[in-house]
RNA sequence: CGGGCUGUGGCGCAGUUUGGUUAGCGCGCUGCGUUCGGGACGCAGAGGUCCCCGGUUCAAAUCCGGGCAGCCCGACCA
């Protein structure tokens, strides 16, 4: 039975809910459609939703699970402001990212200056907790809050899955050093795993990129789902799991060997207006020239700002290691050997460009490449004769069947929703924010070693709905349902004895502390059945004239459809028992 | 930010191509009656700036121009 939350038991004749027979046209995914049809949520603007009483109760259930596990893990709940003075963000340097894709924050002008509608809370928590913690004796400490966050999402979608205003449970750990921080990280990580288990979600922790938050080690908690916007790589052999953005593939650096002596020389072709892989394949119009026979040549800077030409087979998406960036148009001006749209590896080393290739390029060829001359490509290009590779690595996005970097087994690609993300921050924020230091045991000063942890509560509501429904409607897990029991009276208006029996049962359930949604409305049976199925409480208790004549009620499980009769005067425990 | 589609009572839609009485239909809502163990039926009713602004015209939901909003695809994503 779920923890007690918010509102008292409820008669449906009074509940603020209206079920819809049809879903609004803007609802694309099932969870969104059902949550709107069931009167759980309503849209106010794009990516901005109201939670009606039923929706809020589910939200509170999820929060209850999160609170109990974080509390158990020794975390302390607090509540930070959603409105942040912009100066804090200038201190961390992240204000420069506002308006960009990595940190699309919203700001508001007030009397006190510019405020940021908090998209995340590293800055605020560092100065807030830092001001209270002055000594190593007070460490470690982990705090958390459940609060609204604001993000100016480029494209909100799928109901609560991607919104501009969202509810998040975010935690922050403060430790004396990296080792202690890693222990705190593990504690929250384990708590997260227990939370997902209690939410009946199959979440996998995966290695990920850290994005705008920063830090070295981080994990995303991915819930496999058809409506997911992310993909992660999973190895059935050893358990390796990583976001495709961070995943690498295994296999040794290739040794392609010498090119064949008798191969014809490379041939140059005039290919005007065909900069893309598909364009060039169309040009050759030859079954022997497939995308995989082309070299995708990307001009990039590596983490040390060196000029690098990155080679990937044409049928693969490139994956840039973090810290690397693609050359922009203005960068090409300084690198005349790289002709945008017609780049090839031949002779690049002579121009001071390092040639780095994905292991998938480890065969002689023949390859089709750019000719480093506008509107021209080369065919019959051979590795070892026409170009050489300085360094091999994993630079292509991993796909199903690629070898695992740990054990070599074939990995699989899984579509998933990112439900949480945890980061080992180190001193990224404590180094620069006021109050980010404490006094050490030997009287010196050191910066906190921090971790941060975020879980999307409102997103989880959608994820749970997505994973727990059928064609008739929602089917909440017992711990998350707004009410564990849905009591339905059939025809109370025409059968006063039915109404009286249902009322009596309602009061008995309440007296036993059971939170019950009571459909006392005088509407036709079909409407009541349909609404009960749509709303999805785990247990439906039915009082009707038929059963009443024999002194029984009917108990039906929403998830399994199992139904059995129970004497009306049976004890509450046996009425509810499966 | 690029491409596409769509804006008509609370919800789902028709009508727009070819301008012309009072803008329709289903669901929902109100009242009365009948019915009612899987979204009942009849009768009567309420509810609309046809997204907004401007233009063309005797006449605009409909044609033209400009905005705005929503959704989808892509890019991006904590």
Which residues contact residue A526 at a Cβ distance below 8 angstroms, ignoring those fewer than 6 apart? none
CA of A542, C1' of B66: distance in angstroms: 59
Instruction: Supply A181's token pair.
Output: 């921080």
Q: Which nucleotide is nearest to A529 (CA to C1')?
A: B38
pLDDT in tens, A50-87: 999 999 999 999 999 999 999 999 999 999 999 999 99
| For chain A, percent of residues with pLDDT exceeding 90 | 60
Number of helices (H) and strands (E), helices first, in chain A? 12, 32
Please compute the mean of the pLDDT values over residues A219-247 and round it to a whole number.
91
Beta-sheet strand order (sheet of A295-301) = A325-326, A295-301, A307-313, A354-358, A391-393
Q: Which nucleotides of B are covered by protein (CB under 7 A)?
A: 1, 11-13, 26-28, 35-40, 69-78
Which residues contact residue A124 at a Cβ distance below 8 angstroms, ignoring those fewer than 6 apart? A80, A81, A84, A88, A118
Is the peptide bond between A366 and the residue preceding it cis, with omega within 30 degrees of 0?
yes
CA of A28, C1' of B5: distance in angstroms: 14
Instruction: Supply A301's token pair.
Output: 């800077």
Q: Is A460 helix (H, G, I), strand (E, B) or coil?
A: helix
Q: Is the CB of A104 under 7 A from strand B?
A: yes
Q: What pLDDT band is residue A285 in, cutting at 50, 70 and 90? A: confident
pLDDT at A3 over 50: no
pLDDT in tens, A358-417: 888 887 778 888 888 878 888 888 888 888 888 888 888 898 889 999 999 999 999 999
Q: Is the CB of A556 under 7 A from strand B?
A: yes
Tell me the CA distances in angstroms from A354 to A163, A202, A350, A357, A572, one per residue in order: 42, 43, 9, 10, 75
CA of A55, C1' of B46: distance in angstroms: 31
CA gap A114, A559 in Å, rounded: 50
Task: Note the pTM of the prediction, 2 decimals.
Answer: 0.91
A254 close to A362: Cβ distance less than 8 angstroms: yes
Q: Give the pairing type, strands A552-557 and A563-567.
A: antiparallel
**Residue-range domains of chain A with CATH:** 19-229+414-465 (3.30.930.10), 267-393 (3.90.960.10), 483-576 (3.40.50.800)
CA gap A250, A184 in Å, rounded: 31
Residue A180: exposure state from Cβ atoms within 10 A (0-12, 13-18, ≥19): middle
Which residues contact residue A94 at a Cβ distance below 8 angstroms, ignoring those fewer than 6 apart? A103, A123, A212
Lowest mean pLDDT among A341-350, A467-476, A567-576: A341-350
pLDDT at A4 over 60: no
Q: Is the CB of A22 under 7 A from strand B?
A: yes
CA of A19, C1' of B27: distance in angstroms: 12
Q: In the beta sheet, which residues pair with residue A145?
A: A170
pLDDT in tens, A300-325: 888 788 888 888 888 888 888 877 87
């Amino acid at each position: 039975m779920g923890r007690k939350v918010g509102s008292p038991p409820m008669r449906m004749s009074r509940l603020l809910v209206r079920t819809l027979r049809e879903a609004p046209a803007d609802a694309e995914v099932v969870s969104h459609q059902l949550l709107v049809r069931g009167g759980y949520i309503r849209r106010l603007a794009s990516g901005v939703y109201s939670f009606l009483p039923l929706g809020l109760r589910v939200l509170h259930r999820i929060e209850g699970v999160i609170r109990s596990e974080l509390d158990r893990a020794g975390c302390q709940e607090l509540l930070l402001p959603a409105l942040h003075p912009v100066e804090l963000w200038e201190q961390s340097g992240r204000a420069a990212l506002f308006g960009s894709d990595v940190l699309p924050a919203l700001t508001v002008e007030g009397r006190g200056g510019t405020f940021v509608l908090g998209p995340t809370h590293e800055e605020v928590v560092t100065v807030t907790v830092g001001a209270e913690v002055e000594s190593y004796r007070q460490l470690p400490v982990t705090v958390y809050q459940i609060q609204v966050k604001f993000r100016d999402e480029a494209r909100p979608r799928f109901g609560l899955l991607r919104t501009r205003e969202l509810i998040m449970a975010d935690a922050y750990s403060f430790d004396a050093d990296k080792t202690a921080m890693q222990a705190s990280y593990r504690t929250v990580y384990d708590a997260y795993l227990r939370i997902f288990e209690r939410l009946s979600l199959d979440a996998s922790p995966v290695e990920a990129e850290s994005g705008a938050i920063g830090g070295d080690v981080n994990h995303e908690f991915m819930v496999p789902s058809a409506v997911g916007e992310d993909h992660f790589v999973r190895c059935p052999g050893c358990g390796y799991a990583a976001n495709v953005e961070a995943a690498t593939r295994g296999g040794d650096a290739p040794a392609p060997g010498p090119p064949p002596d008798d191969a014809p020389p490379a041939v140059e072709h005039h290919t005007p207006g065909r900069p893309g892989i598909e364009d060039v394949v169309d040009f050759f119009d030859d079954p022997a020239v497939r995308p995989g026979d082309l070299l995708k040549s990307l001009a990039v800077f590596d983490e040390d700002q060196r000029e690098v030409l990155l080679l990937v087979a044409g049928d693969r998406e490139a994956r840039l290691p973090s810290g690397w960036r693609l050359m922009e148009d203005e960068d090409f001006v300084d690198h005349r050997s790289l002709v945008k749209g017609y780049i090839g590896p031949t002779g690049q080393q002579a121009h001071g460009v390092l040639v780095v290739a994905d292991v998938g390029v480890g065969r002689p060829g023949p390859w089709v490449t750019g000719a480093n001359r506008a509107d021209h490509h080369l065919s019959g290009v051979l590795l070892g004769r026409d170009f050489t590779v300085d360094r091999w690595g994993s630079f292509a996005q991993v796909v199903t069947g690629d070898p695992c970097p740990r054990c070599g087994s074939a990995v699989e690609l899984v579509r998933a929703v990112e439900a949480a993300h945890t980061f080992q921050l180190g001193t990224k924020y404590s180094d620069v924010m006021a109050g980010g230091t404490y006094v050490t045991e030997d009287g010196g000063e050191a910066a906190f070693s921090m971790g941060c942890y975020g879980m999307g509560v409102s997103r989880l509501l959608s994820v749970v709905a997505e994973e727990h429904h059928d064609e008739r409607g929602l089917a909440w897990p017992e711990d998350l349902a707004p009410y564990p029991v849905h009591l339905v009276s059939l025809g109370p208006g025409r059968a006063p004895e039915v109404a009286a029996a249902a009322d009596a049962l309602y009061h008995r359930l309440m007296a036993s502390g059971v939170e019950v949604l009571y459909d006392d409305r005088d509407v036709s049976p079909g409407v009541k059945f349909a609404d009960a199925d749509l709303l999805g409480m785990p247990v439906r208790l039915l009082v009707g004239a038929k059963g009443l004549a024999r002194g029984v009620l009917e108990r039906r499980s929403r998830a399994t459809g199992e139904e059995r009769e129970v004497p009306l005067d049976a004890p509450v425990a046996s009425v509810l028992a499966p």
